Structure 1
Amino acid sequence: MKQLENKVAIITGAASGIGKCVAELFVKEGAKVAVVDWNEAEGKKVVSTLGENAIFIKADAGKAQDHERVVQETVAAFGQLDIAVNNAGIVGAFAVTGEYGVEDWDKVISINLNGVFYGMRYQLPEMLKKGKGSIINVSSILAEVGVANSSAYCAAKHGVNGLTKTAAWEYGTKGIRINAVGPGYIGTPLVTESYSDEVIKELSSRHAMNRLGKPEEVAELILWLATDKSSFSTGAYYPVDGGYLAR
């Protein structure tokens, strides 16, 4: 039997990168998946390769009403909700804190932090109907450390970890597990399109393995957290960072 047989999952930011890999792996393991993204063309392209066990839902991660609609459409299509991967995120602008644009700040917080809250706000009540579920929030190594010129991103990801721990305590006796994963720098468009080759080389050197991670490596950890193999894991933060935080 496949690991996610008869399970239904929502994955945000699933048109590319980590989210896309998670969607592909989940379907391979038997799940029915809602591929959620603002990029309709790329999202539909992903779904076209996954067959009848996947649907595309266009949504803005920074809008609460979109998250509510995503849950409604997922349940309408597949009848239930068992797993949610809140993965959508952006890098945002680069500037020192005293010069960081207010609009830039609001955009990053809206998608990277508010978006995770909005997702959980509507995912949790649906999971409570079954009395079981697993939520995996995609955080970052920058939820544990700071880095210059990325105050909004770091603040949002630190917030994701706090939100994850709080919700895990609230739902620990209700059958719903909530965890966060912290990728290092991963070779996805989020990184490769945000940094020059020179910067990417320098970023690679910050990992003990001296390379960027692969989205598939993050997806495998998320899969474990989505299954009952991780049945005693909740409220935890799992780095998948090639040793970045070991220094």
Structure 2
Amino acid sequence: MTRFDNKTVLITGAAGGMGSSHARGFHAEGATVIVTDVRDEAGAALVAELGDRAHYLHLDVTSPADWENAIAETERLAGPVSVLVNNAGILARTALIEDGDLDDWHDVIGVNLTGTYLGIRATAPSLRRSGGGSIVNIASTSGHVGTGLIAHYVASKWGVRGLTRTAAIELGRDGVRVNSIDPGVVNTPLITTPLHPGAAPVSDYFSPDAFAIKRMAEPQDITSLLLFLASDQASFITGSEHIADGGMLLGPALAAGQVQNRS
């Protein structure tokens, strides 16, 4: 018996990066996994890799009609949703606020914040039909601080934190728990690939040597926390946020030579 036997888990932005790690993790724990994304070829390839108990659905998280269709098709294929993971997220071109492109702002807010809102709204009735369940929103440590050149992303992730708490209040009476995970720097293409020609990848702005745990996170580090929060093992946890950043938000780590080595 594994933690998600007979559970249906819908994951947004699941065709690659952290999302594909999450899909593999839930599938290994017995869930029927609904992989959703706008990257149809990659999504279909992941489902083919997973095999039984995996289905791919095209889902633009900014589209209410796509959400309606995704929930209806999920229930047709696998029954009501037990777990929703609002994982889809994007960055856009880096720029100072005064130089930023308004379209970039709308795109990032649309996917990261409005997409999460629409996901909660569309999935709540299905979660009730399943007898209750769990929503986990993927926020970011950027939702705890200000970060230059990515105002759109920072604003979206601060918003996800507030939305998580509000949804937890509203859905708790239905047996639905709502929590967030706030990753730091994770080794995914979103972080390691330049956002536009001439730009440095976001990972270049952060030095793991300054973290208490001196490395970037791997997607599986976030998946492990997600599986716990979505499971019945976390049945008394709701409206909470869980930072997984290797100590980045703690402040600079001690440098070599500042303390004696301990044996």
Give the alignment's Cα RMSD to 1 decimal: 1.5
C-alpha separation in 1, matches of 2:202 and 2:167: 40
The 8 Å contact of residues 185 and 203 in structure 1, kept in 2 or not, is answered as: no
Runs of at least 5 residues in structure 2 that lack an aligned partner in the other structure: 252-263
Matched to 2:226, the amino acid is I
Please state if 1:35 is matched with 2:39.
no
C-alpha separation in 1, matches of 2:29 and 2:156: 31
From the superposition, tell whether residues 174 and 93 of structure 1 become closer, same or farther in structure 2 (CA, over 3 Å). same
The 8 Å contact of residues 12 and 87 in structure 1, kept in 2 or not, is answered as: yes
C-alpha separation in 1, matches of 2:98 and 2:214: 32
Partner of residue 132, structure 1: 132
Matched to 2:78, the amino acid is F
From the superposition, tell whether residues 213 and 37 of structure 1 become closer, same or farther in structure 2 (CA, over 3 Å). same
The 8 Å contact of residues 35 and 47 in structure 1, kept in 2 or not, is answered as: yes
C-alpha separation in 1, matches of 2:128 and 2:201: 46
Please state if 1:200 is matched with 2:204.
yes
C-alpha separation in 2, matches of 1:56 and 1:166: 30
Q: Which moved more, 1:204-213 or 1:55-64?
A: 204-213
Please state if 1:179 is matched with 2:183.
no
From the superposition, tell whether residues 150 and 201 of structure 1 become closer, same or farther in structure 2 (CA, over 3 Å). closer
C-alpha separation in 2, matches of 1:197 and 1:160: 24
Please state if 1:21 is matched with 2:21.
yes
Please state if 1:229 is matched with 2:238.
no
Task: Give the deviation of 1:206 after TM superposition.
Answer: 4.2
Partner of residue 74, structure 1: 74
The 8 Å contact of residues 15 and 36 in structure 2, kept in 1 or not, is answered as: yes
Partner of residue 166, structure 1: 166
Runs of at least 5 residues in structure 1 that lack an aligned partner in the other structure: none
Matched to 1:234, the amino acid is T
Aligned with 1:75: secondary structure?
Answer: helix
Percent identity over the alignment is 37
Q: How many residues align?
A: 247
Partner of residue 123, structure 2: 123
Structure with higher Rg: it is 2
Residues 85-144 of structure 1: CA distance to partner in whole angstroms, max 9, x if unpaired?
000000112111112111110000000000000111111111112331100000000111
Matched to 2:143, the amino acid is A
Aligned with 2:178: secondary structure?
Answer: strand
Task: Give the deviation of 1:202 after TM superposition.
Answer: 3.6
From the superposition, tell whether residues 201 and 148 of structure 1 become closer, same or farther in structure 2 (CA, over 3 Å). closer
Q: Which moved more, 1:153-162 or 1:193-202?
A: 193-202
C-alpha separation in 2, matches of 1:10 and 1:90: 19
Residues 32-80 of structure 1: CA distance to partner in whole angstroms, max 9, x if unpaired?
0110011011111111111121001112122121112111111110012
Aligned with 1:98: secondary structure?
Answer: helix
TM-score, normalised by the number of residues in structure 1: 0.96
4+ residue stretches of structure 1 with deviation over 6 A? none
